[in-house]
Structure 1
């Protein structure tokens, strides 16, 4: 009745009674959303358009793996036309998302994927959809809620540090091995995040900065996630490959080739190779 009344009131169909009869007769499945329909069309045509989800008016947006909340909000605002300040305000109200108590922000809890958001949705609804999508992914992997924060924090580091698909599982193993022996993670990605940067070259200023994300200064995992981990990073976090590595260095930033080492001496040899590549490829340190 509500659909029939709305169609008639908006002038899409000629009259309420006829439209209602057609809806009752066909018993269609409607997809909630915003639709742009022509005026003065037949009841059957209106029903046909409303039962096809491809006719729904949506905002399509792709969020890449490894993005931070601030970058995600910028893209969401650009695509939806909703101001970034509205997204930021909703993001600050963590209680509405039912996150683990340890979560300091939405960082890491917005699942990176391609979404088609109904144009009627507001900032709060969009963020909740993305958070719920991450929760679904965690549940798909069988991660208990009490382990969500730790898992996402670990996975976000893997996401930012690994380059090639097969290396995600090796990077995960390196950090797992370090945690197992109480060795500092020494992740450049976490150190950079702690000072609000995405630096390829990590300076002494960054390494010595006193913040809860600096895994050079503080043992164990940082305060929380540093980016949005995707399915690959989550899978690698939960299923690391076997190995005894404690170090790795991505020596070729163009190809993503990475050297994994068991000893510091081996690691130093990898760094020498990285230094040589950087010298031969100026501009990558900017």
Structure 2
């Protein structure tokens, strides 16, 4: 051992730390990164909060209990605009989340314009499904049997449809030709029924629906049956409209139709009050002797045969009654004041029935 080794040994014994340059240096201690951990914690927290918000959006409706909302989605509205409308009406909780949902839910389906009936208790997936399927809110409008076009127009006006536009469409001769109607107007061919309409349905569109419904009822087989009787569809519809106005009991339709068919066959005037009334502008509800003696195209007390056209829209039962009247020889009938009629085959019996029921009417009025 030389002097250098003795010195090194002595230094080791004295506790000095010697650096061995012949060995690799030890790695420095790893430093911790608190910013990284904080960032990760924030991200996890944000993800958890976003998940919670999304879960609440999808599973909790805006309001419970809910209330009805009739919402109009305009044609051409963007997804953002639709979401804004729904949020304003409290149908959805968050418009941004709804737009995101619309992008991925039932991919390929688009939201459709129209009027919808929502509630504020609906979940967003249900709202979106309705919009994608186009399940628009259907209003119902009922046109009673025996209504004239002008009476129908009043019903339409109650449902915010254009009364003037409806009447203009009905009384346009070109529209009658367009629908293969051998008449100057659509009067009588606007089939009475209950129709589904939306907020975007126009009066003209409804009139077209009604005519199309008429032609569904007036089948090719019925048209052939009418032709075989030597009559036209227009004549049958005109006769059916009179039956509709005269009949109060369903079981009397075929009997009343038989009376008029019998009169037509022998060239006898129809003497129908409803036809006279139809020909009186602004009828006040009181039919007078003067009215019966005033000549108009619809006064069947003054003129033989059918009037120029229908006086109302008959239902299917009256149309069938006009085509297939009862096999009876009646030529007269008079109201019995209870909705029914007394039918007679000759004038003498008819006069006795008229006197009887007039007396009964006077007695009832006196009491």
Look up the match of 2:169. 90
SS of the residue corresponding to residue 214 of structure 1 reads coil
C-alpha contact (below 8 Å) 1:14/1:41 kept by paired residues: no
Any stretches of 5+ residues in structure 1 without a counterpart? 25-29
* TM-score, normalising length: structure 1: 0.81
SS of the residue corresponding to residue 223 of structure 2 reads coil
Aligned-pair CA distance for 1:201: 6.3
C-alpha contact (below 8 Å) 2:278/2:298 kept by paired residues: yes
Q: Which has the higher contact order (CA 8 A, sep 6+)?
A: 1
CA–CA separation in structure 2 for the residues paired with 1:4 and 1:202? 54
Aligned-pair CA distance for 1:170: 0.1
Look up the match of 1:151. 236
Cα 1:88/1:197, change in 2 over 3 Å: closer
Greater shift after overlay, 162-171 or 38-47? 38-47
Greater shift after overlay, 156-165 or 197-206? 197-206
CA–CA separation in structure 2 for the residues paired with 1:186 and 1:231? 24
Look up the match of 1:238. 323
Between Structure 1 and Structure 2, how many residues are aligned? 271
Deviations 1:40-67 (A, max 9, x none): 96556522565485xx323322211111
CA–CA separation in structure 2 for the residues paired with 1:4 and 1:100? 36
Aligned-pair CA distance for 1:132: 1.2
C-alpha root-mean-square deviation of aligned residues, in Å? 3.3
Deviations 1:121-179 (A, max 9, x none): 11111111112111211127622698331121010000011111111010001111111
Matched, 1:65 2:142: no
SS of the residue corresponding to residue 35 of structure 1 reads strand
Cα 1:198/1:174, change in 2 over 3 Å: farther
Look up the match of 1:208. 293
C-alpha contact (below 8 Å) 1:22/1:44 kept by paired residues: no
Cα 1:103/1:37, change in 2 over 3 Å: same
C-alpha contact (below 8 Å) 1:189/1:198 kept by paired residues: no
Look up the match of 2:352. 269
Matched, 1:110 2:195: no
Look up the match of 1:46. 128
Matched, 1:35 2:104: no
Aligned-pair CA distance for 1:6: 5.4
CA–CA separation in structure 1 for the residues paired with 2:354 and 2:284? 17
CA–CA separation in structure 1 for the residues paired with 2:297 and 2:76? 57
CA–CA separation in structure 2 for the residues paired with 1:155 and 1:107? 12
Is the radius of gyration larger for structure 1 or structure 2? Answer: 2
Look up the match of 1:27. none
CA–CA separation in structure 2 for the residues paired with 1:32 and 1:259? 57
Cα 1:32/1:249, change in 2 over 3 Å: farther
CA–CA separation in structure 1 for the residues paired with 2:363 and 2:220? 44
Greater shift after overlay, 188-197 or 239-248? 188-197
C-alpha contact (below 8 Å) 1:91/1:106 kept by paired residues: yes
Any stretches of 5+ residues in structure 2 without a counterpart? 1-74, 87-97
Aligned-pair CA distance for 1:203: 2.7
